[in-house]
Structure 1
Amino acid sequence: MDEWFPSALKLMTRVIEIGGIAIIVLGLFGASIAVIWQVLQGRSGSEAFTLYRSNLGRAILLGLEFLVAADIINTVAVDPTLQSLLVLGGIVLIRTFLSFSLEVEIEGRWPWDRNKEEGERSSRRTA
């Protein structure tokens, strides 16, 4: 491989990691501004808080996706050792658990209940 390729991959990995962090930070600021705006517009505190948690959770989920992608690139292309693969596996498990937990918090239901709810809605429309 060319000498520049590993350096380019490391740089690309860092850029994706920075993008993931930026998404989380900007999501925090955006959600905070949105909740302040909602309260100023007269929305109740509990509704605004629910919206805040939902928006912040979505930003965290998207940021985590970027961070996992950077870890995968780093492990597969930059440093393909057994130890780095095991570390990646642990990171992916932890982030998957976090993503799952955040998804439940945002949606307020288990992911497998989504299909049941959609089926109930469509059966109500046809009846």
Structure 2
Amino acid sequence: MFRQFFLQFPKALDEAAKIDGCSRLRTLLRIYVPASLPVFATMALLKSIGSWNQYTWPLVITNEDSMRTVQLALSIFKTEYAIQWNYILAATTLIALPVLLLFLLLQKYYVQGIVTSGVKG
């Protein structure tokens, strides 16, 4: 994702920074990193959601109930005789809140990325 994003930058931008006397590091820090905040926000959200929603790996490596993740805790509400849907739905709502809050915090970078992606030049 980063590679594709950085390939979209025009070569003239790099050449203009070089003419202005910027080193490669300064060009990266002053031009490319601030312009690439949307891709950083996207990767942060995708990696966070991927880590947050892991089920199989924590199931394999944990052997105590105190070490289980919240996704594994949902299986507590499934008993041998009945599924307690009200508890499962309430817990699922609480589990989804951190991801939703992270998205809301990073939303301005998504909007910025959408607005700047249509600009040619």
TM-score range, shorter chain: 0.3 to 0.5
Higher relative helix content: 1
- Which structure has the bigger radius of gyration? 2
The normalised TM-score by structure 2 is 0.42
TM-score (norm 1): 0.41
